[in-house]
Chain A
Amino acid sequence: MPSSMTTRPRPLSPNVQIYRPQLTSVLSILNRITGILLSACAVVLVVWLVAAAWGPQSYVPVQAAIASWIGRIFLFGATFAYFLHLCGGIRHLVWDTVHGFDLRWIYISGWAVVAASAVLTVAAWVASASMGG
């Protein structure tokens, strides 16, 4: 190949820019996103526990932050993320036993995960409200 001739690199065909979002890929990336969000929540959980362990002076501001209106919005989001990741995770565990791979079952279980997560989130918050929170 003569060095005077520069070979133009071949273009890469578009992937995520044009590929259709489908229940398969969307639920999968949601499972990953909720997993990452829950990792952040795990950090908050440890902060909360450590604050509680070191007496009411450290606990009260942390608890107040969580109970504030902005804290509650985050907590609601975290609850939804938790139930999505939990139901999605159970769907993954069923797949690991090599069951439910028929395309019909993939779609039924997918919509079931979305519905169950929404129902469980609302149920959790209703239960919490009825406890006097």
Chain B
Amino acid sequence: MIIRSSDQVPHTTLLKRFPIPRNFGVTRESRIGRGKIWPAPKAATRIRALEIYRYDPDSGENPRLDTFEVDLDDCGPMVLDALIWIKNKVDSTLTFRRSCREGICGSCAMNIDGTNWLACTRFISDLATPATIYPLANLRIIKDLVPDLTHLFAQYAAIEPWLKSKTAEPERERLQSPDERSKIDGYYECILCFCCTSGCPSHWWNGDRFFGPAVLLQAWRWLTDSRDEAKDERLDNLEDPFRLYRCHTILNCTRTCPKGLNPGKAIAEIKKTMIERRS
């Protein structure tokens, strides 16, 4: 009932999904159809069923939901291990992004059992039966579980995430006290996996203009860095009814961050700074 940290998987649920049809309000090309069932090998004893979103851009068909039965004795403990097992042993066309397999690169971010998380740090034993694996929510899908993150990275570029200075470059380091350095703790660790932005309902409805939690958390990271000399322009660029103020403190972002960061708090800090600079 009381979630202490974002890695807690709720074991009792009232509602797994909102009570609306699966294809509610969805455009024709996005409707999801019934898919194939891929049974486990006959010798398998411990089996888990995973329903995985599939989309093949070359087939001309709509996306579908395939059910794969995974042999747990033949693959590692994490959801990413299950996906790699499926790709190696069952269907080699299953496509997904992955790299570090240790929760630091952000590539394998996807929607697992209704919430966004990294596949490489989610245990198979924490999954529901059957588990559902969708790509990150509300993004254009290139293939299977691979979303198009171009717009999200463009929004990141729009906040100019680099040190901006007006004074001359120092001969050695730009100095910063330990207290000043601690101000960026909890913000610099973001791996830009976009789990938070993809889970924000406000970004679902206004993602073209609302920057979203990931980008705003990085905006705060630069605002609170004592070495940066462009706070004025950064705040001017953020003060917009859409770019910043579409955030209604829904807090799905903080709930879902796979690194335990707090985008909701970062955004609240930005809003507080907005008031402070005009009072």
Binding site for B on A (CB under 8 A): 8-25, 28-29, 32, 92, 95-98, 101-104, 106-108, 111
Contacts and interface: CB of A to CB of B under 8 A. Distances in A.
Which secondary structure characterizes the binding site on chain B?
A: loop
Contact of A95 (B32, B135, B137, B268): B268
Interface string B1-13: 1111110000001
Contact of B2 (A14, A97, A107): A107
Contacts of B135: 13
B29 A111 contact: no
Contact of B250 (A14, A18, A24, A96): A24
A75 B1 CA distance: 31
A11 B62 contact: yes
Contacts of A28: 201, 248-251
A48 to B, nearest CB: 31
Nearest to A20: B114
Nearest to B20: A17
Contacts of A97: 272
Given A28-B248, A101-B265, A19 B255 contact: no
Given A17-B17, A98-B269, A103-B254, A12 B111 contact: no
B30 interface: yes
Q: Top 7 closest A-B pairs, CB basis?
A: A20-B114, A101-B265, A11-B30, A15-B138, A24-B251, A10-B140, A15-B137
Interface of B: 1-6, 13-18, 20-27, 29-30, 32, 53, 55, 57, 60, 62-63, 111, 113-115, 132, 134-142, 147-148, 199, 201, 204, 248-252, 254-255, 262, 264-265, 268-269, 271-272
A103 B139 contact: no
Given A95-B249, A103-B4, A11 B22 contact: no
Contacts of B268: 95-96, 98, 101
Nearest to B249: A95
B2 A111 contact: yes
Contact of B113 (A20, A96, A106): A20
Contact of B272 (A15, A32, A98, A108): A98
Given A13-B137, A107-B3, A19 B272 contact: no
22 contacts: A10-B140, A11-B27, A11-B140, A11-B141, A12-B139, A12-B140, A13-B136, A13-B147, A14-B134, A16-B20, A17-B21, A18-B137, A19-B115, A23-B3, A25-B201, A96-B271, A98-B268, A101-B262, A104-B3, A104-B5, A106-B3, A107-B2
